[in-house]
């Protein structure tokens, strides 16, 4: 039996049309994944976050392609941030 779908969302959430909105959030580094030191911001208590530049984006983001330049070594939080999740959609709505 063929089921007809009447309501298909034409605008789908995709990183490729997003300009990396989530890469403007504070990203805590909670485990060792091999992030190069030059991309890390250290606070006085020894906490580590991804360094953000004056434009607000993570220092490891390629400004031309809006792609992560340390994808294989990105922090766990970046790996866990799910495309299409509540946080993703909220962040897109704030920036776009």
With the CA atoms of 25, 66, 18 and 94 taken in that order, what torsion angle do they form, in degrees rounded to the nearest 10?
30
Which tokens hold the place of 66?
């809006």
11 versus 43: smaller Cβ distance to ligand SF4: 11
Give Rg (Cα) of the chain. Answer: 16
When binding is defined by CB under 6 A, the residue of 6, 49, 50, 65 that contacts ligand SF4 is: 50
Does residue 78 belong to the site contacting ligand SF4 (CB under 6 A)? Answer: yes
How far is the C-alpha of 70 from the C-alpha of 36, rounded, in Å? Answer: 8
Q: Is 67 helix (H, G, I), strand (E, B) or coil?
A: strand
Residue 46 beta carbon to ligand SF4: minimum distance, rounded to whole angstroms: 20
Does residue 28 belong to the site contacting ligand SF4 (CB under 6 A)? Answer: no
Which tokens hold the place of 34?
């091999």
20 versus 32: smaller Cβ distance to ligand SF4: 20
State the residues that interact with ligand SF4 by CB under 6 A.
13, 15, 18, 20-23, 27, 50, 58, 60-61, 68, 70, 74-75, 78, 81, 83, 88, 91-92
């Amino acid at each position: 039996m063929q089921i007809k779908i009447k309501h298909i969302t034409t605008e789908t959430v995709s990183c490729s049309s997003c300009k990396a909105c989530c890469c403007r959030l504070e990203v805590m580094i909670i485990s060792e994944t091999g992030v190069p030191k030059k991309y890390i911001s250290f606070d006085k208590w020894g906490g580590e976050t991804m360094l953000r530049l004056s434009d607000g984006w993570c220092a490891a983001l390629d400004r031309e392609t809006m792609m992560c330049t340390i994808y294989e070594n990105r922090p766990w939080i970046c790996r866990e941030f799910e495309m299409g999740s509540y946080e993703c959609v909220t962040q897109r709505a704030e920036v776009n």
